[in-house]
Amino acid sequence: MTREAGRTAAGRPADALRHWAKARRFLEGARHSEEGGHWEAAVSSAILSGIHLADAIGLHYTGRRSAGERHEAAGDRLEAMEELEPAVRRSLARHLRALLEVKNLVQYSGDASRASDAQAALQHVERMMEAATAIAKRAGWRPEA
C-alpha cells in the first residue's frame, strides 16, 4: 500500500486515462515547441506532461493524485508508491523532480531558456513516459487504447 505524501485528491479509473492523454498531448506540444525554437514553451509543456503522467500513475494504482500547490509532493508520491518496483518508482520520481527543479526558473523568472534546457526537459519527460508505458504494459493497463 502506498504511503501518502502531500495533499491528494481522489479520482476514478477514467481520470487516470484523461491524465495520461493530457501527458501525451503536452509531450507532443513540448516536441513541437522544441523543434520550433520555443524553449520556454517546450520546457513548460514537458513539465506539465510529467505532472499529468505522475497523476495518471497515481490515479491508476492508488485512486489518488497529488492536489497540493507543492508539485514536489508528486515526486514524493511516486517514490512512495509501493505498487511499483523500487527502481522504477525512484527513476520516475527522479525525472519528475528534475523537471520541477527548472519550473520556477523557466516559468517565473525573467531569464530566457536555452535549447539545452528544452532538450534536457524533453529527455526527462520522455524517460518518464517510456518507464510508465513499460509498467502499464506489464500491469495489463492500456492507457493509450
CB 124 within 8 A of CB 50: yes
144 assigned to some structural domain: no
> Rounded to whole angstroms, how far apart are CA atoms 79 and 73?
10
The pLDDT tens digits of the residues spanning 85-97 come to 999 999 999 999 9
Instruction: Give percent of the chain with pLDDT exceeding 70.
Output: 90
- Please tell me the total count of domains within the chain: 1
For residue 117, the enclosing domain spans: 10-138
pLDDT-based confidence at 49, cuts 50/70/90? Answer: very high
Alpha-helical regions (H) of the chain: 13-35, 39-62, 72-80, 86-108, 115-138
List the grid coordinates of 99. Answer: 523537471
Classify residue 80: in a domain, yes or no. Answer: yes
Q: What's 28's domain CATH number?
A: 1.20.120.330
Q: Which three cell numbers stand for residue 44?
A: 513548460
35 domain residue, yes or no = yes
With cell 505522475, the residue in question is 54
pTM score of the predicted model: 0.88
Asked if residue 3 is part of any domain, the answer here is no
Task: Tell me whether residue 129 is in a domain.
Answer: yes
Average pLDDT of the residues in 37-54: 94
Domain-located, residue 1: no
Q: Residue 82, Cβ neighbours under 10 Å: how many?
A: 12
**Average pLDDT across the chain, whole number:** 86
Whether 123 is covered by a domain: the verdict is yes
- Between CA 91 and CA 97 the distance in angstroms is 10
pLDDT, position 19: 93
Q: Does residue 4 lie within any of the structural domains?
A: no
Mean pLDDT, rounded, for 50-78: 84
